Amino acid sequence: DQQVKQNSPSLSVQEGRISILNCDYTNSMFDYFLWYKKYPAEGPTFLISISSIKDKNEDGRFTVFLNKSAKHLSLHIVPSQPGDSAVYFCAASVETSGSRLTFGEGTQLTVNP
Amino acid sequence: ETGVTQSPTHLIKTRGQQVTLRCSSQSGHNTVSWYQQALGQGPQFIFQYYREEENGRGNFPPRFSGLQFPNYSSELNVNALELDDSALYLCASSYDRRNSPLHFGNGTRLTVT
């Protein structure tokens, strides 16, 4: 039972354009959502998060949108840079579950110069 | 500030053997969790430790066990290794407060032959 799904295994965009990565979830108990990025041979690095009481959170070039009714969240990166090329994981948690995150399968983002 | 460190980086074991993976938490973090990442998949939660006790477990059999030490370092032990245990094992540490982001190590790549 895949509770967090990232349906696009890969995404390719041009430098300077917007990258939009999508994520869907099925568990309505999830109340906190995160995005991590992962470079080869490194562990995932925390990028940005959003609580279920909000519908948008912004941090520099990164913005996460949450649509609770659709059980959908997205990560916008603008402008995209070649250094953003990495695997991006969407993750979700329930308040009482501590550090138990449920991850999606990941999306490989490639930003072309 | 010292990040999360894991050892060894790579390991090859034979089916049926036992393995111990080690993790040093980021300075000041008192909660540690372990994740298994199979090829092409997102990380899957194995278990979490707080104050040297397991306080959350994912869908993994009892042959996966762990320890957390007073200095918050941790071990993951896997007995009776199976071929499907081949994966990247990630350790993550965090503060014991709600929605504290996980900080991951670079992982241990385990290959079971």
Look at residue A44 in the predicted model and tell me its pLDDT. 96
Q: Do A101 and B102 touch (CB under 8 A)?
A: yes
- Would strands A102-103 and A56-59 be described as parallel, antiparallel, or unpaired? unpaired
pLDDT digits (tens, 9 = 90+) for A87-107: 999 999 987 676 789 999 999
Region of residue A105 (phi > 0: left; psi between -120 and 50: alpha; otherwise: beta): alpha
Q: Compute the nearest-CA separation of A107 from chain B (Å).
A: 10
Look at residue A99 in the predicted model and tell me its pLDDT. 76
Look at residue A18 in the predicted model and tell me its pLDDT. 98
Q: Do B41 and A105 touch (CB under 8 A)?
A: yes
Of A32, A43, A104, the CB nearest to B104: A43
- Where chain B has pLDDT below 50, the residues are none
Q: How confident is the model at residue A52 (pLDDT cuts 50, 70, 90)?
A: very high
Instruction: Give me chain A's average pLDDT, please.
Output: 95
Look at residue B1 in the predicted model and tell me its pLDDT. 57
**Residue A81 pLDDT > 80, yes or no?**
yes
**Residue A25 pLDDT > 70, yes or no?**
yes
| Contact assessment for residue B102 and residue B2, using Cβ atoms and an 8 Å cutoff | no
